[in-house]
Amino acid sequence: MTKALAIQAKSISKTFRISEDSHNTVKHRLFNLFNPPRTKKVEALKTMDFEIYKGECIGLLGRNGCGKSTLIKLLAGVYPSDTGNINIFGTTLLMNLGVGMSHELTARENIYVSASVLGLKIKEIDEIFDKIVDFAELREFIDSKIKFFSSGMVARLAFSIAVNAGADIMFLDEIFAVGDMKFQEKAIKVFESSWIEGKTVILVSHSMDTIKKYCNRTAFMKNGSLVYFGNTDKAIEMYVEDNH
Ligand SMILES: Nc1ncnc2c1ncn2[C@@H]1O[C@H](COP(=O)(O)OP(=O)(O)OP(=O)(O)O)[C@@H](O)[C@H]1O
């Protein structure tokens, strides 16, 4: 039987340009009118190809700054890729401290917006609304703008929307690191329930135990390159070695 694709990335890459000078004051700008700010290129993602299949739980490992978040932001459509193309087969939700959520909207409004992005009709969202709020334990704050939330509260809300509104593909960037103990236990329960069956999960984590427990394949990244993508134990070994 052929496996169904969830994500296909062909020759994708991303380079950021960051300003090296601080032409921030009026005086500085005037003196440097004909001298544009110098920019530095950061090759956050070097050209890479890979395929992820439906139902897989993929680990993403690598040291700080190696490009993990950039990669999942590209896959989730937050940034466009500079080259190549990405095919996504299913609905996605990126749960990285509320990327994809609007900080100017309340938790209630964000639930409706995000769940509609996931393809639900208003009536269907009405039906699961309480479940989302209770799972996230945010009833008291439901009509507050999420810009006043802590990062853990935003992560709880995003996770709850994705779990209850049924995203097919979830990008979890350090989900076990942002939540408090109780939330982590809930997240683990979700991972160990039948909910996860058939879902595709990309899990960024610095916790080897988490990656080992849940990921059937793991990618190891270094300096923007996808060095290895396959057996989880082997990827962990490479990551541990890279930390020595
Ligand atoms: N929006 C941006 N503008 C400019 N440079 C960026 C931007 N986002 C990331 N970078 C740079 O791209 C590189 C990869 O960053 P990224 O956040 O993807 O790493 P990471 O592996 O997720 O790190 P961490 O483990 O610390 O979360 C870094 O050098 C970072 O400074």
pTM of this structure: 0.82
CB burial of residue 185 (10 Å; 0-12, 13-18, 19+): exposed
d(CA 95, CA 175): 7
What DSSP designation does 106 have?
B
User: From its phi and psi, is residue 237 left (phi > 0), alpha (psi between -120 and 50) or beta?
Assistant: alpha
Tell me the three state secondary structure of residue 63.
coil
Q: Which domain holds residue 212?
A: 5-242
From the CA atom positions of the chain, what is the Rg in Å? 20
d(CA 155, CA 149): 10
- Ligand 1 atom closest to the CA of 224, numbered from 1: 14
Non-local (6+) Cβ contacts of 155 within 8 A are 95, 97, 98, 175, 178, 179, 183
Tell me the three state secondary structure of residue 52.
strand
CB burial of residue 152 (10 Å; 0-12, 13-18, 19+): middle
Strand residues in the chain grouped as ranges (E): 5-19, 39-53, 57-61, 83-88, 92-95, 169-173, 200-204, 217-222, 225-230
- Each of the 244 residues of the chain gets a pLDDT tens digit; together they read 578 999 999 999 999 988 776 666 777 777 777 776 678 899 999 999 999 999 999 999 999 999 998 998 898 887 899 999 999 987 776 655 455 678 899 999 999 988 887 778 899 999 999 999 999 999 999 999 999 998 888 888 988 888 888 778 888 877 777 778 888 888 888 878 877 788 899 999 888 998 999 999 999 999 999 999 999 999 999 999 999 8
Sole residue written with tokens 């996605």: 92
**CB 146 within 8 Å of CB 110:** yes
Report the residue among 12, 15, 16 best suited for mutation to probe ligand 1: largest number of ligand atoms under 8 A from its CB. 16
Say how many Å lie between the CA of residue 15 and the centre of ligand 1: 10
Structural domains of the chain, count? 1
**CB 98 within 8 Å of CB 147:** no
Give residues (CB < 6 A) around ligand 1: 16, 18, 42, 44, 62, 64-70
Closest residue CA from atom 16 of ligand 1: 67
Report the residue among 70, 75, 222 best suited for mutation to probe ligand 1: largest number of ligand atoms under 8 A from its CB. 70
**CB 28 within 8 Å of CB 203:** no
- Ligand 1 atom closest to the CA of 174, numbered from 1: 27
CATH number of the domain within which 149 lies: 3.40.50.300
Say how many Å lie between the CA of residue 65 and the centre of ligand 1: 5
d(CA 124, CA 144): 23
